[in-house]
Amino acid sequence: MLPYPLHPAIVHFPVVLAVLLPLFVLGALWMIRRGANARRAWILPVGCAAALTLSSWLAVQTGGAQSERVERVVSEQAIDSHEELAEAFLATSAAVAVVALIGLSAGIPGRAARVLTAVGALGLIVLVARVGHTGGQLVYRYGAASAYTLQSTTSSGEVSDRPAPVRRDNRER
C-alpha cells in the first residue's frame, strides 16, 4: 500500500541520491586513476545520476499533484518558491545525468565529462539543500501537513474534509 500523501515519502530519494552521487563519482575517479577500466568504474555514477533524475521527476510530479490541497493552508508564494527550486533541481540533475553518460566515452571527452560530473554533483548538494529547506519550511513553519491531518467542523456540527484554517506563520510573537 502506498503512503498518502505520497510526496513526503518520495522526496527523500532525491535527497539521499544527491548526497551519494558525489561519493560514487569520487570513488569511480579514484578507481580510474588507479588503473580500473573507465567504463566499468563509471557505470555506478551514471546509474546513480539516472536514479536521481527519475526520483526528482517523481518528487516534482507528486508535489505538483498535491499542491492544490496544500494551498488551502499555505500561501501560494511559499509553495511556488519551493516548486521553482525543485524544478531547477530536476533540470540540473538531468543535465548532470547526461554529462555523466558522456563520461562513458573514451579519451578527452570522457575525461572532461567525468570531471564536469564531479563538479555538477557537488552543485546538486547545494540545490537539494535549498529545496529541502523550503520544503521543511512549508511543513514546519507554515503547517503544510495540516492539509492532511486536520478536519474542521461546519457551523451545523458536521465534519468537513476541508482542513481547519492554520495560521500561515507559526513563529512566536
pTM of the complete model: 0.84
* pLDDT for position 162: 53
* pLDDT for position 104: 97
* pLDDT for position 153: 42
- DSSP alpha helix (H) spans, the chain: 7-10, 12-33, 38-70, 76-102, 107-136, 146-149
Find out whether 117 and 25 touch, Cβ atoms under 8 Å. Answer: yes
User: What is d(CA 172, CA 169) in angstroms, rounded to the nearest whole number?
Assistant: 9
How is the chain split into domains, by residue range?
7-160
Cβ neighbours, 10 Å, residue 140? 11
Burial 93-130 (b: 16+ CB within 10 A, else e): bbebbbbbbebbbeeeebeebbebbbebbeebeebbeb
* Low-confidence spans in the chain with pLDDT less than 50: 152-155, 157, 159, 163-164, 166-167, 170-173
- For residue 119, CA distances in Å to 22, 123, 145 come to 8, 6, 35
* pLDDT for position 68: 87
* pLDDT for position 69: 87
